[in-house]
Amino acid sequence: MFGIFKKMKKPGNDEDMPGKAKDYSRKIARLEPSRLISFECDFSTFSRSDDVPPGRFAFYLDAGRGSASKSLRYGGDGGYRAEFDSSDELLMRLAELIKELDLESHNGEQYFVNGLPDDFGYRLYIKYESGSVGASNNQSNYLSVKAINALVRFFESSAGVESSFEAADEYYN
């Protein structure tokens, strides 16, 4: 009855098997932030167990332009995509927020699990004149609730989008 399992062959490369996890993380010396050039961050709140509204968020900001977007994988109408003009003042405010949230501490994190949906985890890329900070994990979003709230509110207000994060206020205050 179970003879079929003995006859099945594994793909030639175990690295490509669904669920295969790879931790490419490396310890990187702390960067001394200088003038912020650009910021890219996208993250999912689908895999979080705390009281954070579900969605996938993507934010981008450089000296010339910025964008903020949210999409839902299921139900609801909470999605948006907005583009807006950027400025040096906006970049300076974001640089202060990055420092306050200690986002540089994620530098060097890189974890990947084969076969997971695209709408899980997080990616972060911050470019300064002095260097860059990068991190990614497609399995979990390790950004704190405080960081999630602050980034969503910063970009939603910059884009003129009404905030969608009232449910997580208790964690932020």
Q: Is residue 160 part of a domain?
A: yes
**Domain-embedded: residue 128:** yes
Q: At what angle do helices 145-159 and 88-101 cross, to 10 degrees?
A: 170
pLDDT in tens, 7-63: 334 444 555 655 565 655 566 656 566 889 999 999 887 766 666 667 788 889 998
Would you state the pLDDT for residue 77? 58
Q: Report pLDDT for 7.
A: 38
pLDDT at 142: 78
Position 41 in a domain? yes
Structural domain that includes position 80: 36-172
Cβ proximity of 140 and 148 under 8 Å: no
Q: Which of 32, 92, 30 is nearest to 61 (CA)?
A: 92
pTM: 0.76
Burial of 70 (0-12, 13-18, 19+ CB in 10 A): buried
Q: Which positions ≥6 away from 11 have C-beta within 8 Å?
A: 17
Position 12 in a domain = no
Neighbours of 55 (CB within 10 A): 22
Which of helix, strand or coil describes residue 162? coil
Mean pLDDT of the chain: 76
Q: Does the residue 17 lie in any domain?
A: no
pLDDT at 121: 83
Q: Is residue 11 part of a domain?
A: no
Domain presence at residue 123: yes
Query: Residue 115's domain is classified under what CATH number?
Result: 3.30.1560
**What is the DSSP-derived secondary structure letter of residue 107?**
T
65-71: strand order across its sheet: 21-23, 110-113, 131-137, 122-128, 36-44, 56-62, 65-71, 80-85
| Residue 23 domain-assigned (yes or no) | no
Q: How much is the pLDDT for 66?
A: 92
Counted domains in the chain:
1
